[in-house]
Structure 1
Amino acid sequence: MTANTDRERIKLIIILAIPAVIENFFQTVLGFVDTYFVSKIGLAAVSAVGVTNAILAIYFALFMAIGVAANVRIANFLGANLPEKARHISQQSIVLSIVFGLFTGVLTVLFAEPFLRLMGIDDDVLELGALYFRIVGIPSIFMSMMFVLSAILRGAGDTKSPMYVSIIINVVNAILDYVLIFGFLFIPEMGIVGVAMATVFSRLVGSILLIFYINRTKVLTFRKDYWKPDKDHLMELTTLGAPAAGERLLMRAGQIVYFGFVVALGTNAFAAHQIAGNVEVFSYMIGYGFATVATILVGQQIGAGRYDEAKHYVKLLTYLSFGSMAILGVLLFFLGDWAGSFFTEDEAVIKDIGTALKISGVFQPFLAVLLILTGAFQGANNTKFPMYLTAVGMWAVRTLLVYVLAIMLEWGLDGVWIAIGIDIALRAVVLFVQFMRGKWMALERVPEPETNCHPQTNKENMSACANNY
């Protein structure tokens, strides 16, 4: 993808970003709808789902890391005009996603309750959480595949198909949430079990649809011989994805620790924290949408050897995201209490939600910079620096400050959200300084085309391989 003027570049960014933002919006709606329906069951159920999702976020870290690696390498290869390499590595990433999905499913079977007990939750929350965790976590292969399949399409510059899938599964999930939670006609009321079943079925539908979209694209159509595990490509994905996984694992592990501090504030405080998080995440949709575009465009420009163009795109994306999220920050600041009233009638909880969202609103511009530059670093094959920075930010800043402000100084939930904001701001500043110093790319030589054509392929496949180059 090339553009000669800023106007053309911005037009390209918007074309790619709008579907990504819409997809993120509907993914956010998915969590919002779940939280809304779960809140009608009770605050203990909200806490159970929240605590479980904090642990599932560790699974997400592994799946997202594979997706990041696939996204970046596919963008690199297509930018370098090596479509067959992109096709091969996309299928190898699916193989890897299946392996990790099965592995995390087994972990859930064996350790669902022990994992939840680490959070220090009450027995009534533990019982609900364990039930929800097993239903959602055992078939985590569908989570894994959705992350990776969506990333494959984005790496090829297709942000529309994941958007369509996101819309469809949201409709499916919302309908099933209502029917399975509260019962309908001959279907009995299932409560939190219904929430879990709706989530799993929605992910199954999403995986099937994403496979359909990938297989109908000319450049990524599946080839039978590419399903065989390939040591070089699997190592390539692992090497690039490992720091991304490390970053997310460090983030989630720290999150579990400071979630424990929030739990210590009481069930109502934790429920308020979860609800505020589900409202705040609406602000992420634009930032993540632009961050997705940053990874795609930076990956393609670097694959094509246009490094200055890659940097220029990052600057434009940062400006656009900064302005957009600043506006959303204002909305969070002034409408937080109103949003919280949708989930509960408890005045104290509503007040906590509103205060948390006011604090979040102040830090939204910093979050914009953090998201865009993280996506840009990853698109530039530099997944290590964000990992190191996350380790310091999460453990030396966020988790420590949550304990000091929320527990020691007894600022409660206010202290938690101030600590989160400070961590975001500091990491955003560090990434910005590194970017301006030119310390953000990890350039690698793109493999030669012929390494992608195996000696054992038949004559017809060899011919097709040559034509694709």
Structure 2
Amino acid sequence: MLDKDTKKFTLWVLAWPIFIELFLQFLLGAVDTLMVSRISDDAVAVVGFSNQLFQAMTTLFVTVASGAGILIAQKLGSRKSGDARIIAIMAVSSTTIIGIACSVVLYVMPESIASVLQMPEHLLPLAGTYISIVGGGMVLVAMMSTLSTVIRNTGNTRGPMYVAIGMNIIHVIMNYGFIFGAFGFPEWGLAGVAISTVASRLLAVLLLIYMFLRSFEYRIKWREFKVFDRPLFGEILRIGWPLGVNLSCWVFSQLIIYAFIATLGATELAARTYMNTLESFCFLLGSSIAMAAQIQIAHLYGEGRIREAYRSAYRALGFGLIYVVVNAFILYVFGKQLLGLFSSDPAIIALGASLLGMNLILQPGKMINMALGNSLNAVGDTRFTMYISLGSMWIVATVLSYVLGIRLGWGLIGIYSCMIADEYLRGALSYLRWRGQKYLRKAENPDGAVPADAVKKPGEPVAAAGV
């Protein structure tokens, strides 16, 4: 029988609220794209391009947020709640400072940044407006991301889900008002969409702060945000900096690939943006399971239940593969009609539809890579995932994308082929590393001792982590 704390860290208890939260975040992006498409396809291209830029900026604070999240789950598993509390406070303080710096840079020179990243010249005025407003609120993204990560890794995955529901409702209402001049709102087009995004994020941050202050056994006081524990912060960076490099590899490689696509033309850029929206939906449940597995495995690892942690990765991978394959097939069947909801341009729809079959191949590789990569991160093996990302993302996903997509003229087909190869290569290497159990064996026998969960009496069933 599982105790209350153990039940809180079972895979499905963790995964379903994360799925709802991610689904609503996807909905936020899809509604943005759908509503912005009513302004123009150029506006859609600007939003898609700008979002890649914003993701690139998030790598500056994800180092702290991700490392802190894994450590919090490990510390709670090992019953060191005081350390977990201090780690959470330092993570929020640090990322808020970094977020403020990002906001200033994006607000001051939006068009210059877009121009350097090869945004088509006729889109620069629109990009300047959108990047300055949404980018100026980057501190809210930093706070929202860190607060959600901390709260989720305490086992409370429902709280961020409820916040996501409220944020989406407000954002959709304000979007509609600003785009169509409804509810007494001024008809401000893309600028209104940007304001709506920032306003809904501000409300989300306020709610998350309220939850964060009450996430641990003793309520966090405002004066505690001055706390800085050097050894614990060193632990955060030890796990977190490879995660930051890993994510930055992905985000910056995607940003460069977007720049490659931008050289192909606005049609290709819009088609990729629409496909990115559909692909995100396809992978939602798989991503939720992978994220939940990371929290569960980190908690089990911290608690010393090493064998259960090992098996949990394969359980999550099995469930995830089933769901992403089914979703990818549904998207393959109905994708053309779904693309028609976003654009009436036959060239954009035809180009997007040509990529649907490739998405069937892409999604399983993405699931293998994320489930096993997250499992490695959960036990602290973050440098390995960093090393394979540095090699595969830059050589396979980026350099080969340029060679096949631009130099040899294969366009988006060539770029997608390289993205698929990158996912499967990293997934295969992560599988071999997890199967080797380097970090798990080290934790099992730090002094040559046999851990309690590895010993069982004759006839006693092996305990399994809750699903």
TM-score (norm 2): 0.90
Q: 1:268 is matched with which residue?
A: 267
On the 8 A contact 2:9/2:299 being kept in 1, the answer is no
CA distance in 2, matches of 1:190, 1:144: 26
Query: Which secondary structure does the structure 2 equivalent of 1:187 belong to?
Result: coil
CA distance in 2, matches of 1:199, 1:234: 32
Q: 2:450 is matched with which residue?
A: none
CA distance in 1, matches of 2:301, 2:319: 21
Structure 1 260/440 Cα, relative in aligned 2: closer, same or farther at 3 Å? farther
Q: 2:326 is matched with which residue?
A: 327
On the 8 A contact 1:390/1:427 being kept in 2, the answer is yes
Q: 2:150 is matched with which residue?
A: 152
Structure 1 141/204 Cα, relative in aligned 2: closer, same or farther at 3 Å? same
The two structures, once aligned, show a CA RMSD in angstroms of 2.1
Query: Offset of 1:295 from its aligned partner?
Result: 1.4
CA distance in 1, matches of 2:270, 2:177: 24
On the 8 A contact 2:144/2:208 being kept in 1, the answer is yes
Query: Which secondary structure does the structure 2 equivalent of 1:342 belong to?
Result: helix
Query: Offset of 1:216 from its aligned partner?
Result: 3.0
Corresponding residue to 1:62 among 60, 77, 83: 60
5 Å-filtered alignment, 1:70-89, equals 70-89=68-87
Q: Does 1:178 align with 2:157?
A: no
CA distance in 2, matches of 1:2, 1:100: 40
Q: 2:13 is matched with which residue?
A: 15
Q: Does 1:165 align with 2:175?
A: no
Give the stretch that moved more between structures: 79-88 or 211-220.
Answer: 211-220
Structure 1 2/111 Cα, relative in aligned 2: closer, same or farther at 3 Å? farther
Structure 1 434/158 Cα, relative in aligned 2: closer, same or farther at 3 Å? same
Q: Does 1:139 align with 2:151?
A: no
The one-letter code matched in structure 2 to 1:64 is V
Query: Offset of 1:403 from its aligned partner?
Result: 1.5
Query: Which secondary structure does the structure 1 equivalent of 2:341 belong to?
Result: coil
On the 8 A contact 2:168/2:200 being kept in 1, the answer is yes
Structure 1 357/138 Cα, relative in aligned 2: closer, same or farther at 3 Å? same
Query: Offset of 1:68 from its aligned partner?
Result: 1.2
Corresponding residue to 1:38 among 30, 36, 39: 36
Q: 1:296 is matched with which residue?
A: 295
Query: Offset of 1:233 from its aligned partner?
Result: 3.1
5 Å-filtered alignment, 1:48-447, equals 48-219=46-217, 221-230=219-228, 231-439=230-438
CA distance in 1, matches of 2:306, 2:42: 51
The one-letter code matched in structure 1 to 2:65 is G
Give the stretch that moved more between structures: 73-82 or 346-355.
Answer: 346-355
Query: Offset of 1:65 from its aligned partner?
Result: 2.9
The one-letter code matched in structure 2 to 1:415 is G
CA distance in 2, matches of 1:373, 1:221: 35
CA distance in 1, matches of 2:34, 2:439: 40
Query: Which secondary structure does the structure 2 equivalent of 1:341 belong to?
Result: helix
Structure 1 10/136 Cα, relative in aligned 2: closer, same or farther at 3 Å? closer
CA distance in 2, matches of 1:347, 1:220: 58
CA distance in 2, matches of 1:163, 1:185: 27
Identity %: 29
Structure 1 308/9 Cα, relative in aligned 2: closer, same or farther at 3 Å? farther
On the 8 A contact 1:24/1:289 being kept in 2, the answer is yes
Q: 1:452 is matched with which residue?
A: none
Structure 1 consecutive aligned stretches of length 4 or more whose deviation exceeds 6 Å: 8-11, 442-445
Counting matched residue pairs gives: 441
The one-letter code matched in structure 2 to 1:393 is S
On the 8 A contact 1:161/1:213 being kept in 2, the answer is yes
Query: Which secondary structure does the structure 2 equivalent of 1:25 belong to?
Result: helix
Query: Offset of 1:444 from its aligned partner?
Result: 8.0
On the 8 A contact 2:44/2:273 being kept in 1, the answer is yes
Question: Which runs of 5 or more residues in structure 2 are unaligned?
Answer: 445-467
CA distance in 1, matches of 2:333, 2:405: 23
CA distance in 1, matches of 2:239, 2:109: 29
On the 8 A contact 1:328/1:364 being kept in 2, the answer is no
Structure 1 73/275 Cα, relative in aligned 2: closer, same or farther at 3 Å? same
CA distance in 2, matches of 1:61, 1:2: 37
Query: Offset of 1:185 from its aligned partner?
Result: 4.9
CA distance in 2, matches of 1:444, 1:211: 35
CA distance in 2, matches of 1:305, 1:342: 50
CA distance in 1, matches of 2:395, 2:413: 19
Query: Offset of 1:136 from its aligned partner?
Result: 0.8
On the 8 A contact 1:331/1:361 being kept in 2, the answer is no
The one-letter code matched in structure 1 to 2:55 is A
On the 8 A contact 1:405/1:415 being kept in 2, the answer is yes
Query: Offset of 1:214 from its aligned partner?
Result: 2.2
Q: 2:457 is matched with which residue?
A: none
On the 8 A contact 1:66/1:96 being kept in 2, the answer is yes
TM-score (norm 1): 0.89
The one-letter code matched in structure 1 to 2:20 is I
The one-letter code matched in structure 2 to 1:319 is G
Query: Which secondary structure does the structure 1 equivalent of 2:317 belong to?
Result: helix
Query: Offset of 1:203 from its aligned partner?
Result: 0.8
Query: Which secondary structure does the structure 1 equivalent of 2:38 belong to?
Result: helix
- 1:134-170, Cα deviation, whole Å (9 max, x unpaired): 1011121110011000001111011111111111111
Query: Offset of 1:11 from its aligned partner?
Result: 10
Corresponding residue to 2:45 among 44, 47, 51: 47
CA distance in 2, matches of 1:206, 1:114: 30
CA distance in 2, matches of 1:11, 1:116: 43
Query: Offset of 1:434 from its aligned partner?
Result: 1.0
On the 8 A contact 1:9/1:313 being kept in 2, the answer is no
Query: Which secondary structure does the structure 1 equivalent of 2:92 belong to?
Result: helix
